[in-house]
């Protein structure tokens, strides 16, 4: 780890004392793969005749893919079917980009250091197959007790459902959970769930 990453790890460790469970987002928090997700959106949109710069993907980080597609349709006056687009984007990401996933070292090391000491869940807006493969590539799948992924709760982030489901499965009260996120949808969801949170990109 670089000096900066080490400092961020120390800061994360200080901020996270006293909690019984850690709930980590996956993409952009544990995995440095947001550029790959964005590239997959841009590729599928381009195949459908729409060229856009991808800033909207950063802006809506953490939203379920179908909701992002609905927002793209609204802003660009496009007519993509959200379900079909989401399926294509998922496949493109899985087939063409996923293998290149790199860890966000200080967050991955934080998770490893606390495995077995606090309860650990990963709460992601991506599909389970991609999340499991990502966590396997990062070498931490076996450290995660509970996974809550896209489509497994009635509402995704920014609603509290995914975090509340994770807490329930862990058997830990929301007040004793700390959430690690890199996007506004995630922190909004955590707040709504009655959980404290840390924005790993703003340390």
pLDDT digits (tens, 9 = 90+) for 123-179: 999 999 999 999 999 999 999 999 999 999 999 999 999 999 999 999 999 999 999
Q: Assess whether the previous peptide bond of 158 is cis (omega < 30° from 0).
A: yes
In three-state secondary structure terms, 155 is coil
pLDDT of residue 10: 97
Q: What is the pLDDT of residues 182-193, one digit of tens each?
A: 999 999 999 999
pTM for this predicted structure: 0.89
Q: What is the pLDDT of residues 60-89, one digit of tens each?
A: 888 889 999 999 999 999 999 999 999 999
pLDDT of residue 199: 97
pLDDT of residue 187: 97
- Given strand 196-199, what is the order of strands in its sheet? 146-148, 119-123, 21-24, 177-181, 196-199
Is pLDDT at 12 greater than 90 in this prediction?
Answer: yes
- Beta strand 196-199 with 119-123 is unpaired
In three-state secondary structure terms, 133 is helix
Give the residue from 122, 66, 109 showing the smallest Cα distance to 89.
Answer: 66
């Amino acid at each position: 780890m670089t000096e900066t990453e080490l400092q961020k790890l120390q800061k994360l460790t200080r901020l996270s004392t006293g909690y019984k469970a850690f709930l980590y987002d996956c993409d952009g928090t544990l995995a440095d793969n947001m550029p790959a997700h964005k590239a997959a959106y841009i590729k599928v949109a381009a195949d459908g005749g729409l060229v856009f710069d991808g800033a909207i993907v950063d802006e809506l980080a953490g939203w379920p893919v179908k909701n992002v597609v609905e927002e793209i349709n609204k802003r660009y006056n496009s007519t993509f079917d959200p379900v079909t687009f989401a399926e294509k984007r998922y496949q493109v990401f899985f087939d063409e980009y996923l293998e290149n996933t790199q860890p966000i070292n200080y967050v991955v090391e934080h998770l490893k250091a606390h495995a077995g000491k606090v309860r650990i869940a990963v709460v992601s807006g991506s599909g389970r197959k991609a999340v499991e493969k990502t966590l396997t590539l990062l070498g931490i799948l076996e450290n995660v007790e509970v996974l809550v992924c896209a489509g497994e709760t009635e509402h995704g982030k920014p609603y509290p459902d995914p975090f509340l489901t994770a807490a329930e499965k862990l058997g830990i009260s929301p007040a004793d959970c700390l959430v690690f996120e890199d996007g506004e949808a995630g922190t909004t969801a955590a707040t709504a769930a009655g959980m404290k949170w840390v924005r790993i990109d703003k340390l």
